[in-house]
Amino acid sequence: MTRAGFIALAGRPNVGKSTLVNAIVGTKVAIVSDKPQTTRRAIRGVATHGDTQLVLVDLPGVQRPRDALTRRMQRRVELELSDADAVLMLLSGSEGIGPGDRWIASQLEQAGVPVVLAVNKIDRLKPGQIAERLIEAAALGVGDDIFPISARRGEGTDELIAHLRTLVPEGEMFFPPDESSDQRREVVLAELVREQVLRRTFEEVPHAVEVQVEEIDESREDLTTVRARVWVETESQKGILIGAGGSMIKKIGETARKELERELGTRVHLELSVRTRRGWRGDERLLDRLGIQ
């Protein structure tokens, strides 16, 4: 009999949820950045091990909503938690456990599903510090099982995966065994472009950027043309993204193109344009177009 179920990943922004999903799935399904609030959609990574399939839902960082974008992100978190078979709450070992973690733990108490805790980034800690973090995690009062891990290095992830497999029910698999994600191709490509923007921008710019793939032209067998629009909120942000003489957008395009070629398995011609839309994070219609539900 096969087993299959949904594991929702909860935690503060930038605790390593996307890195862990990618590590468990075995391929890149979620972009990774050191900027908070990188994940804006619930991204499902599919990890099939033998007769068990884990559908890992990389949730946006749990937070108090501030605008239409973060309201949608928080609503998505709540919906996915209600549908999950178990919740994996990720904690940052390097930063320690703070008020944000305690607030999330209080929300998970109401989820009504098993909660597993994982203390991530232990590769940055000394053995004594790891023990301290595990004690702090236990003090949160949610979940009976705590795993020290390093998602980046793969330390402790085998034990965590084995435990998660015991938490999903018997039943048919939701996806073919060779499938790794449920994301539409346009969203995957847009996220790969946004990842490169995040790596090169600072302060308010990363939070104000969204990418929309408008066209994928495969009329040529040897070349795929991808046309994407980068949204920002102010003209000054647009200027930063374009850079002097177009230098910044050129660098973003060059590195993003390589990621797209790796994803599509073909040569790619990437066309990027930057457009300003003041307050787009509060624009419900644009958020609908961008597929942020």
Q: For the chain, give every domain's residue range.
A: 3-165, 185-289
Q: How many CB atoms lie within 10 A of CB 81?
A: 22
Q: Tell me the pLDDT band of 145, cut-offs 50, 70 and 90.
A: very high
Q: How do residues 26-61 score in pLDDT, each as one tens digit?
A: 988 877 766 555 555 566 789 998 999 999 987 765
48 contact partners, CB below 8 Å, separation of at least 6: 54, 173, 175, 177, 178
Q: How do residues 183-240 score in pLDDT, each as one tens digit?
A: 889 988 998 999 999 888 887 787 788 899 999 999 999 999 999 999 999 999 999 9
pTM across the whole model: 0.79
Fold of 185-289: GMP Synthetase; Chain A, domain 3 (3.30.300)
60 contact partners, CB below 8 Å, separation of at least 6: 37, 39, 40, 41, 42, 73, 74, 76, 77
pLDDT at 80: 73
One-letter identity of residue 179: E
User: What is 3-165's CATH superfamily?
Assistant: P-loop containing nucleotide triphosphate hydrolases (3.40.50.300)
